[in-house]
A and B are shown apart, each in its own frame.
Chain A
Amino acid sequence: MNSAGRFASGLLIGAAFAGVMFFWPNSDPEAPATSMPAMTATTSTTELEPFLEQGEVVFGATVLLPRGLEVEDGVARFDYELTGLGLTLGVGQDAGTSGDVLTFPEIWVLTTRAGATIEATTGPTAAAARFELPSDDTAVAQIEVVGWRRATAFGERVELPIEVGAAATFRAGEAIIETVLDQRNSTIVQIDFDSNSGEWHNGLLRPVQSGWRVSGRSGGGVQLLWDGSDAPSSVVLEDVSLEMRPVAESVIVHTAEGQP
């Protein structure tokens, strides 16, 4: 055998020796003693780490985080938090806080172990659902949300003649021209907005044509200004809004055994 061969032999022997020393199971003297592992096949698997933690519920772009169930004096109180996953302006939010809640639970059903069902409702800012339990039946089997509200963006455009009393109908309500002030070098148009859907639909009127300017806002209404003596006979109004539309879909958020 030449020198290269002898070097190779040494390399193999050294590697084998070191392999035994470094990789022998339980070489750590402090490790608990276990039996020698059985022969196992090495497999190549892809584990998917779930997006949600145990018990968390995602509906749309909102996550419902259960915070616990308390039953006391015949009332079951299910605490939760909502956190938005979607893009947000971040208005009024500290850095690192949750995003806009664009979906929220509205109608809840609690089922007792005896089979009674009790309904509760909550709004967008609620943090707990309360259920009045039957006096002799306070063991909770499960809680589910059966009705949600989900935000949908609308941008409706309606052309409105510049006349007192002219009206335009939008999803969120009706825009009515209350005043037209034709001044020498400008025109002011005051438009009121009668909302017909309360908290479920927030809109914002604005003119589409660039010549009209917003010079004031009051409630849902808007005051428009046209500079110059050549005001057009109509304005195209746009109502850009978010409508909280009802969605019927059942999601279990609590079971007697713990979180689903």
Chain B
Amino acid sequence: MSEIDYAELFKSPLDDEPDDRSSRWGPIAVGLIAGVLAVGALSLVDGTAESEAPPTTATPTTPIAASSPEVLLYPPGFTEIAPGLAAQPFELIRADDTLLVAFHTAVERDSSPTDVAWPIGGSWWLGSAGDTGVESSRVVLGRSSPGVFTVEFPRSEVSDGGTVGAIRMIERWDLLTETGSEQVPFSGEPYEMAEPLSIPVSRQATLVVDELQLGRFLGRVDWSLDGSDGPIGRVLIEVTLLDATGTEVGTYGAFPEILDPAGSGVTEIFWQEPFPQGQEGAITAEVRYTVGLVDVVSTDIGFDLQSVPEGR
């Protein structure tokens, strides 16, 4: 067995260089500078982080917390059902032919309650203590506030069988909101639009204003959503009258009311401003729309109902 000269095998080519004073101390000096620079840089990074952290009252003998505080985004008891939105069931109501689960909502901490979309609707599943369950028949939002909603189930063996165990949201309705406007000639009131107006609002859906009628105080918009997938949505429409210079004469607005997502509907509108000024001088009607197209998202978010009180 031959003997291997490991010292020779692993030696660096630099080891063969002349061994003068500068070559001996050079690498140490370079390493020294590199070490100082590296640790100095680390201390600067550390110092920056400290300057952004909340002030601490820790005394020198207090253990140092290694992590930053975690922020609670919603009030206690709420569960997130969509980005920026949480819900909590608060009452179980047994009506004549339905069982209702009442919820309230909370937007994420520091968010504005007016800025969050309403992904409320879809399908829910009510489960008993066993393996049986029943699917919701619909979701009802308050007349004027989406802040509370009620999930409605048909009375069944599950709902009447005693203990209702849990409720799960199995489908969420996200709203893909599109806004815009389209102009048509206006010839004074009473006015009826000559022909239907088609407005593409997305690649999948077209808003069709089938009829537009404008009177002295009231108006009406018959609309529908066309598309290959049978789109439904929350549709808000108002009509603004413009004069020859493009200046607003006034607006027919809709009553602020929450309507269920639909594929067609009638929007009642009324002359809002500047009341009691009339429609004189207007030559253009601008149809302004907000269409929240329903995008169905599968979910599996559960809520325990064991401690939720029952009412009638």
Q: Which residues of A contact B (CB under 8 A)?
A: 2-4, 6-19, 22-23, 25, 34-38, 40-52, 58, 60-61, 63, 84-91, 93, 95-96, 98-100, 102-103, 150-155, 202-204, 210, 213-214, 216, 240-242, 245
Interface of A is mostly: mixed
Note all chain B residues with C-beta closer than 8 A to A98. 113
Q: Mark B133-160, 1 if CB is under 8 A from A, else 0.
A: 0000010111111111110100000000
Q: Which of A15, A35, A155 contacts B39 (CB 8 A)?
A: A15
Task: List the B side residues contacting A155 at CB < 8 Å.
Answer: 138, 140, 150, 152
In the complex with contacts A85-B107, A153-B142, A51-B150 CB distance below 8 A: no
B221 to chain A: closest CB distance in Å? 11
Do the beta carbons of A13 and B148 come within 8 Å of each other? no
- With contact pairs A35-B60, A86-B106 given, residues A245 and B311 touching in the complex (Cβ less than 8 Å): yes
When chains A and B are docked, how far (Å) is the Cα of A44 from the Cα of B63? Answer: 9
Of A86, A96, A154, A216, which is within 8 A of B104 by CB? Answer: A86
Closest to B31 in A: A10
Query: Cα distance A219–B265 when bound, in Å?
Result: 23
* Chain A min CB distance to B262 (Å): 9
Question: Is the CB–CB distance between B31 and A51 below 8 Å?
Answer: no
| Per-residue A-contact encoding for B102-127, CB less than 8 Å = 1, 0 else | 10111101001110101010000000
Q: How far, in whole Å, are A99 and B104 apart by their CA atoms in the complex?
A: 13
- Asked if B38 lies at the interface with its beta carbon under 8 angstroms from chain A, I say yes
Q: A19-B39, A44-B67, A241-B143 are in contact. Are A86 and B34 (CB under 8 A)?
A: no
CB–CB B27/A22 < 8 A: no
User: Given known contacts A89-B144, A202-B143, is B24 in contact with A61 (CB within 8 Å)?
Assistant: no
Q: Quick check: B32 and A10 within 8 Å, CB to CB?
A: yes
- Min distance, Cβ B89 to any Cβ of chain A, angstroms: 11
- Which of A7, A19, A100 meets B145, CB within 8 Å? A100
Distance of B302 from chain A, by nearest CB (Å): 20
Indicate the member of B26, B36, B40, B266 with the most A CB atoms within 10 Å: B36
Contact A87 B32 (CB under 8 A): no
Q: List 5 A-B contacts (CB under 8 A).
A: A17-B35, A18-B40, A40-B63, A60-B90, A240-B258
16 other contacts beyond A18-B38, A103-B104, A153-B149, with CB at 8 A cut-off? A4-B27, A6-B31, A7-B27, A14-B33, A14-B38, A38-B60, A40-B60, A42-B66, A47-B65, A51-B75, A85-B107, A86-B148, A89-B145, A99-B107, A242-B144, A245-B91
- Cα A11 to Cα B31 in complex, Å, equals 4
| B55 on interface, CB distance cutoff 8 Å | no
Q: Which residues of B from 282 to 312 have beta carbons under 8 Å from A?
A: 311
By Cβ-Cβ distance, the 10 closest A-B pairs, closest first, are A10-B31, A14-B35, A86-B147, A99-B113, A90-B114, A155-B140, A37-B60, A15-B35, A18-B39, A22-B43
Q: What is the bound-complex CA distance between A11 and B300, given in angstroms? A: 55
Which of B62, B75, B113, B147 has the most chain A CB atoms inside 10 A of its CB?
Answer: B147
| B76, CB-defined interface residue at 8 Å | yes
CA distance A95 to B88 in the complex (A): 25
Say yes or no: A88-B30 contact (C-beta < 8 A), given A15-B38, A48-B72. Answer: no
Taking the closest CB of chain B, its distance from the CB of A105, in whole angstroms, is 16
B5 at the interface (CB under 8 A from A): no
**Which of B10-18, B163-171, B179-187 touches A?**
B10-18
User: Once the chains are docked, how many angstroms separate the CA of A47 from the CA of B68?
Assistant: 7
B-chain residues with CB within 8 Å of residue A17 when the two chains form the complex: 32, 35-36
Q: A74 CA to B93 CA in the complex, in Å?
A: 43
Min CB distance A56 to B, Å, is 10
Are A15 and B36 in contact, with the CB atoms below 8 A?
yes
CB pair B72 A51 closer than 8 Å? yes
Tell me which residues across on chain A come within 8 A of B88, comparing CB atoms: 60-61
Closest approach, in angstroms, between the C-beta of B206 and any C-beta of chain A? 19
Q: How far is the CA of A214 from the CA of B270 in the complex (A)?
A: 13
The answer to whether B32 and A14 have CB atoms under 8 Å apart is: yes
Given contacts A84-B147, A86-B105, A89-B145, contact A213 B66 (CB under 8 A): no
Most buried by B among A4, A7, A204, A216: A7
What B residues does A40 contact at CB under 8 A? 60-64
Q: Is the pair A51, B30 in contact by a Cβ cutoff of 8 Å?
A: no
